[in-house]
Structure 1
């Protein structure tokens, strides 16, 4: 147990002084490997590799690439135009469009950060031009982008399924209803505030505009149907579906929209490779760190501590831990560590594995908009040219809205298990 405390102390100090997360995890793990007489430092490379040696995890870089290609081909602009025809005429139309587009784009990219960058680049300047405060524009963009990690095809759920042995198809199906509920709750909040503060109203779209916008967006909307439908109904594995997603996005850009040149393709591949290398390095380091926690029997100690805990007590505690950790660490890093750590206790308490994964996904996605980590909030603030502390007030209001839905999901399991049951 002393070595576990040493690991936790080292990673805390490293993060506090600004050392990157992956390097912090490696430093903590390597130190303990040197101190532990029963282990060898050569295990560092072996366990690092073992953490990444998974066929399912091949889907992660491919989904990231597919999202980048979709964004490059102009799918985001087409989805925004389509959303405008649906909700633009509501009071606070651009705010509603922001949330709806985030929900639609989540079904294309599977990444919250890609959602923030793609949607925010277009809508944050547009909202500011229409008279919305910079804080509101940034907060709505960041808060709605958490849907990218909840609505399928979610990269987080691919990783969670790989590390916990949970069906990825089940997680995808289980994330649909909570994702829609979060989007609906945020839109209700926006509607109430828009009326109270007299936010701008956009002109109602004509029937011709709707048909034109739908025609432009339909191919982009087809991507999640192909990807998610293929996985949920057993036609393709997550990795095979990710390959189809890349091919679909590439063919759209080259043959249909004809706006994806060779130079832009190379640039997208290069940017995606850099992003994937950072993500997978953190993932491998977290896998090593989690393996050491298992070596020191931390899951067994946790199981003893939680023995007899009813689900109504265990799940809220777990969700709270995830929210707190999410303010300091990346969601995928936390997932690799806490997913297997809490799994025995959850199974012993009778918690459905899909329900467990969905609660983790929502709680950790919320960490993307809470400082000091708050990656989605950071990206949105950079686009809106705003300091993070200036957007905290409005962001926390939307954080509270999402927390209400998380509470419902925790205490009402059928929200996450109904659709997977129907698919089965």
Structure 2
């Protein structure tokens, strides 16, 4: 958290503040050093395993176990570092609208709610680690406690950081009142638990909707909101022990498929640091910049290609905007139109491999990541076409005075410089789509490739910068995976309540069959994409909605593409969408002005989503 000010919103998936601009306190640096070492170990070990298997034909049977141990420790250390840095995803819209005095107290309440959840879970996390001592890993014969002890350690570290921050930044009277309020709510729920247990599924509305909504409005990070909902529901309305929450979180964060998340985050950092993205932008600008709507085409094309390298919306926008916006302004493009196109272009490109959302969705819903990558490329092209048509219509009066075709010699030089970067997204898609390598394996190969090419052709990365990138990757990965773990616990709680069976019966009997269900899905994910940011929405609802979709005969890949596209529309939809405000910040344009300009682009995306939903063939043609 940032000292001296209440937490504010941010896109936890990508992170908005470069790591090398922060100065960590001395006591936090050992955490960062260990996290960086773990990240490096995972990358090197995965690469070694790939080489050993494919080159020498000798798989390292123990490598997965070591990676699994390092991975969960990286997740919990990264989550703790992100607490200090204020990078956990939260909804700040309502907090920012409050008067200063009220905001200060709500901030104190949010901190104490986070602390209360951790206090409730730490004993269960410790007990869980003790119980796992008797379970040994098959290859190394190590007690599983060495791995799961990270959860208790991470909770204790986060609790300490929250209390330190609260002591420094919150007035003692407000802090005391917040402690009393949180304690009073907990005591009241405990006293009423016999009555609450008789309410059945009504407790879903009280705890998993009501408590979570209050915490969201108060600015509690989304991972903690989910955790609070699950803990309160189980503790006050059931006899289920809280160790179940720890088990669900462990299961949600531990899949080896998810190891590709931090690797692709690191790849995005390498892209930014080496300037590979800028090389792509320069080439496209030299090729298309002279035609009407050419710079809009370049912007959208750059987002499409760069997204296939970084997997990060913020990284994509931060790479493309500074390179293109000055020339677009010179040609008469208005800042609000440029930012609107930037935001919706980033939403369009979010299904281009390697998409972190697709990787996580595949792990949560049990859908083939290779299939998602193949379909995602086609789906992004459909949405790209919608935006290109709208951009061309809007550019019908564009001032082309002074725009000249770049000499072919210059285009060729830019192509030569950009070629290694242009090859990377196609390398990733082909390797995964053809089954040559898994998403995890190809992510490691891509990082090594990008580091090598960056060192040889784009100026390289210094050791200090690389260390900062490793720490940044750990923090951002901790944010993503903590949300995943907490959402897994909350989704399990909802499932066990029996409400999913009732929801399934209702949705499968809607008039209109699968088409009506798909329409409901689009509405739900657009709304939740606004409120929660897309990834938490997917994590929370995927385990609930996919079984219903399968009952109705909807293909997993088709359904995946619809929900990801719908949530991306919500992410960029004002006045709540987090991505919208990040695009305004990157493009340096007032949100009030951009709101009016972005709606035609959102409508174009929505038309694309409806086409994708209505025509399953589009999602499955590449399979």
TM over 0.5: yes
Aligned to 2:498: 297
1:256 aligned residue: 457
Matched, 1:172 2:387: no
Cα contact 1:150–1:176 (8 A) shared by 2: yes
- How is 1:182-331 mapped onto 2 (pairs within 5 angstroms)? 182-196=383-397, 198=399, 202-309=403-510, 310-331=513-534
Among 357, 376, 380, which residue is 2:583 paired with?
Answer: 380
Contact 1:72-1:260 at 8 Å conserved across structures: yes
**Once the two structures are superposed, what CA deviation does each residue of 1:191-243 show, in whole Å capped at 9, x if it has no partner?**
11111454777321221122111111111111112211111111111111111
The aligned counterpart of 2:203 is: 3
Residue 515 of structure 2 aligns to a residue in which SS?
helix
Following TM superposition, where does structure 1 have runs of at least 4 consecutive aligned residues deviating by more than 6 angstroms? none
Matches for 1:89-108 after TM superposition, within 5 Å? 89-108=290-309
Q: Alpha carbons of 1:201 and 1:334: their partners in 2 closer, same or farther (altered >3 Å)? A: farther
Query: Does the CA contact (< 8 Å) of 2:508 and 2:517 recur in 1?
Result: no
The alignment's C-alpha RMSD in Å is 1.7
Task: Report if aligned partners of 2:558, 2:616 keep a CA contact under 8 Å in 1.
Answer: yes
**Greater mean deviation of Cα atoms: 348-357 or 113-122:** 113-122
Task: Sort the Cα spacing of 1:364 and 1:200 in 2 relative to 1 into closer, same or farther, 3 A.
Answer: farther
Greater CA radius of gyration, 1 or 2? 2
8 Å Cα contact 1:88/1:201 also seen in 2: no
Please state if 1:354 is matched with 2:557: yes
1:368 and 2:597 equivalent?
Answer: no
* 1:380–1:122 CA distance, 2 compared to 1 (3 A): farther
Q: Report deviation, 1:374.
A: 2.4
TM-score (norm 1): 0.95
Alpha-carbon separation, structure 2, partners of 1:125 and 1:243: 35
* Residue number in structure 2 paired with 1:112: 313
Q: 1:129 to 1:19 in 2, by over 3 A?
A: farther
Q: What SS does the corresponding residue of 1:327 show, helix, strand or coil?
A: helix
Cα 1:257–1:117, aligned 2, differ >3 Å: closer, same or farther?
A: closer
User: Quick one: structure 1 residues 389 and 19, their matched pair in 2 at CA, closer, same or farther if it must change by over 3 Å?
Assistant: farther
Tell me the number of residue pairs that the alignment of Structure 1 and Structure 2 aligns. Answer: 420
Q: Where do 5+ consecutive residues of structure 2 fail to align?
A: 1-200
Who is 2:339 aligned against? 138
- By how many angstroms is 1:101 displaced? 0.4
Q: CA deviation at 1:417?
A: 0.6
Query: Aligned to 1:419, what secondary structure does the other structure show?
Result: coil
Q: Does 1:59 align with 2:254?
A: no
Separation in 1, partners of 2:438, 2:397: 48
Deviation at 1:98, TM superposition (A): 0.8
Deviation of residue 123 (structure 1)?
A: 2.7
Distance of 1:298 and 1:72 partners within structure 2: 48
Q: CA deviation at 1:94?
A: 2.1
Contact preservation (8 Å) 1:138, 1:381: yes
Report which structure shows greater RCO (CA 8 Å, sep ≥6). Answer: 1
How far did 1:182 drift?
Answer: 1.2
> 5+ residue gaps in structure 1?
none
Q: Name which of 242, 245, 256 aligns with 1:44.
A: 245
The separation in 2 between residues aligned to 1:347 and 1:59, in whole angstroms, is: 27
